[in-house]
Amino acid sequence: MLTGEDKKLIQQVWGKLGGAEEEVGAEALWRMFHSYPPTKTYFPHFDLSQGSDQIRGHGKKVVAALGNAIKNLDNLSQALSELSNLHAYNLRVDPPRFSLQFLSQCLQVVLATRLGKEYTPEVHSAVDKFMSAVAAVLAEKYR
Protein backbone atom coordinates (compact mmCIF):
# COMPACT_ATOMS: atom_id res chain seq x y z
CA MET A 1 0.00 0.00 0.00
CA LEU A 2 1.34 3.40 -0.92
CA THR A 3 1.92 5.48 2.19
CA GLY A 4 1.82 9.27 2.25
CA GLU A 5 5.61 9.23 2.34
CA ASP A 6 5.79 6.91 -0.68
CA LYS A 7 3.53 9.24 -2.65
CA LYS A 8 5.69 12.21 -1.79
CA LEU A 9 8.88 10.41 -2.85
CA ILE A 10 7.34 9.26 -6.13
CA GLN A 11 6.23 12.77 -7.01
CA GLN A 12 9.64 14.14 -6.06
CA VAL A 13 11.51 11.61 -8.14
CA TRP A 14 9.31 12.26 -11.15
CA GLY A 15 9.88 15.97 -10.66
CA LYS A 16 13.65 15.40 -10.83
CA LEU A 17 13.38 14.15 -14.41
CA GLY A 18 13.08 17.77 -15.49
CA GLY A 19 11.67 17.35 -18.96
CA ALA A 20 13.60 14.19 -19.77
CA GLU A 21 10.53 12.02 -19.29
CA GLU A 22 10.33 11.04 -22.96
CA GLU A 23 13.96 10.00 -23.11
CA VAL A 24 13.46 8.02 -19.93
CA GLY A 25 10.47 6.24 -21.46
CA ALA A 26 12.27 5.41 -24.68
CA GLU A 27 15.35 4.20 -22.83
CA ALA A 28 13.29 2.04 -20.45
CA LEU A 29 11.55 0.40 -23.40
CA TRP A 30 14.79 -0.14 -25.27
CA ARG A 31 16.39 -1.74 -22.20
CA MET A 32 13.31 -3.92 -21.74
CA PHE A 33 13.41 -5.17 -25.35
CA HIS A 34 17.14 -5.74 -25.04
CA SER A 35 17.17 -7.53 -21.67
CA TYR A 36 13.88 -9.41 -22.08
CA PRO A 37 13.52 -10.34 -25.75
CA PRO A 38 10.11 -12.04 -25.27
CA THR A 39 8.62 -8.59 -24.63
CA LYS A 40 9.29 -7.81 -28.29
CA THR A 41 6.61 -10.28 -29.31
CA TYR A 42 4.00 -7.63 -28.59
CA PHE A 43 5.53 -5.23 -31.08
CA PRO A 44 5.94 -7.13 -34.36
CA HIS A 45 4.68 -4.04 -36.14
CA PHE A 46 7.40 -1.81 -34.69
CA ASP A 47 10.84 -0.89 -35.89
CA LEU A 48 12.67 -2.08 -32.80
CA SER A 49 16.10 -0.79 -33.69
CA GLN A 50 17.76 1.50 -31.18
CA GLY A 51 16.51 5.06 -31.35
CA SER A 52 13.59 4.20 -33.62
CA ASP A 53 10.81 6.76 -33.86
CA GLN A 54 8.31 4.14 -32.82
CA ILE A 55 10.17 3.31 -29.62
CA ARG A 56 10.49 7.00 -28.82
CA GLY A 57 6.81 7.55 -29.56
CA HIS A 58 5.70 4.63 -27.47
CA GLY A 59 8.07 5.50 -24.65
CA LYS A 60 6.49 8.94 -24.60
CA LYS A 61 3.01 7.42 -24.34
CA VAL A 62 4.01 5.09 -21.52
CA VAL A 63 5.66 7.85 -19.55
CA ALA A 64 2.69 10.19 -20.06
CA ALA A 65 0.41 7.49 -18.65
CA LEU A 66 2.70 6.98 -15.67
CA GLY A 67 2.87 10.73 -15.16
CA ASN A 68 -0.89 10.87 -15.13
CA ALA A 69 -1.02 8.03 -12.63
CA ILE A 70 1.45 9.90 -10.43
CA LYS A 71 -0.86 12.91 -10.42
CA ASN A 72 -3.69 10.65 -9.27
CA LEU A 73 -2.04 8.42 -6.72
CA ASP A 74 -5.12 8.51 -4.54
CA ASN A 75 -7.23 7.04 -7.29
CA LEU A 76 -5.13 4.86 -9.55
CA SER A 77 -8.05 2.64 -10.50
CA GLN A 78 -9.91 5.48 -12.06
CA ALA A 79 -6.90 7.22 -13.59
CA LEU A 80 -5.82 4.02 -15.32
CA SER A 81 -9.30 2.72 -16.11
CA GLU A 82 -9.07 3.24 -19.88
CA LEU A 83 -5.64 1.66 -20.03
CA SER A 84 -6.88 -1.20 -17.91
CA ASN A 85 -9.62 -1.89 -20.46
CA LEU A 86 -7.17 -1.60 -23.32
CA HIS A 87 -4.72 -4.08 -21.83
CA ALA A 88 -7.40 -6.56 -20.83
CA TYR A 89 -9.51 -6.62 -23.96
CA ASN A 90 -7.36 -5.41 -26.83
CA LEU A 91 -3.70 -5.74 -26.09
CA ARG A 92 -3.94 -8.79 -23.87
CA VAL A 93 -0.33 -8.48 -22.90
CA ASP A 94 0.65 -11.38 -20.66
CA PRO A 95 -0.83 -10.34 -17.31
CA PRO A 96 0.91 -7.18 -16.37
CA ARG A 97 2.37 -8.59 -13.27
CA PHE A 98 4.81 -10.45 -15.46
CA SER A 99 5.52 -8.01 -18.24
CA LEU A 100 5.21 -4.92 -16.17
CA GLN A 101 7.77 -6.38 -13.82
CA PHE A 102 10.24 -6.21 -16.70
CA LEU A 103 9.22 -2.68 -17.56
CA SER A 104 9.34 -1.77 -13.88
CA GLN A 105 12.85 -3.19 -13.55
CA CYS A 106 14.08 -1.34 -16.64
CA LEU A 107 12.42 1.94 -15.67
CA GLN A 108 14.08 1.68 -12.28
CA VAL A 109 17.44 0.97 -13.86
CA VAL A 110 17.06 4.10 -15.99
CA LEU A 111 16.08 6.17 -12.95
CA ALA A 112 19.00 4.73 -10.99
CA THR A 113 21.53 5.49 -13.74
CA ARG A 114 20.32 9.08 -13.84
CA LEU A 115 19.87 9.70 -10.14
CA GLY A 116 22.75 7.67 -8.70
CA LYS A 117 22.84 8.07 -4.93
CA GLU A 118 19.56 9.99 -5.03
CA TYR A 119 17.87 6.74 -5.95
CA THR A 120 17.87 5.87 -2.28
CA PRO A 121 16.45 2.66 -0.82
CA GLU A 122 13.36 4.62 0.25
CA VAL A 123 12.81 6.02 -3.24
CA HIS A 124 13.51 2.58 -4.74
CA SER A 125 10.90 1.06 -2.47
CA ALA A 126 8.30 3.71 -3.28
CA VAL A 127 8.78 3.40 -7.05
CA ASP A 128 8.69 -0.40 -6.87
CA LYS A 129 5.44 -0.27 -4.92
CA PHE A 130 3.99 2.27 -7.35
CA MET A 131 4.78 0.10 -10.38
CA SER A 132 3.25 -2.90 -8.60
CA ALA A 133 0.11 -0.88 -7.95
CA VAL A 134 -0.04 0.18 -11.61
CA ALA A 135 0.38 -3.44 -12.70
CA ALA A 136 -2.39 -4.56 -10.37
CA VAL A 137 -4.80 -1.98 -11.80
CA LEU A 138 -3.90 -2.86 -15.38
CA ALA A 139 -4.56 -6.54 -14.63
CA GLU A 140 -7.87 -5.93 -12.84
CA LYS A 141 -10.11 -6.71 -15.78
CA TYR A 142 -8.23 -9.61 -17.30
CA ARG A 143 -10.71 -12.13 -16.07
Partner 1 sequence: MVHWTAEEKQLIASVWGKVSVEECGAEALARLLIVYPWTQRFFSNFGNLSSPTAIIGNPKVRAHGKKVLTSFGEAVKNLDNIKGTYSKLSELHCEKLHVDPENFRLLGDILVIVLAAHFGRDFTPACQFAWQKLVGVVAHALAHKYH
Residues near partner 1 (CB under 8 A): 27, 30-31, 34-36, 105-106, 108-110, 112-117, 119, 121-122, 124-125, 128
> Closest separation between CB of residue 49 and partner 1, Å?
13
> Which one, 85 or 108, has the nearer CB to partner 1?
108
> Which one, 34 or 71, has the nearer CB to partner 1?
34
Dihedral sign for Cα 114, 24, 132, 102, please. negative
CB 138 within 8 A of CB 83: yes
> Which one, 12 or 35, has the nearer CB to partner 1?
35
Burial class (CB in 10 A: 0-12, 13-18, 19+), 85: middle
> Closest separation between CB of residue 120 and partner 1, Å?
8
Angle between helices 96-115 and 21-35 (to 10 degrees): 120
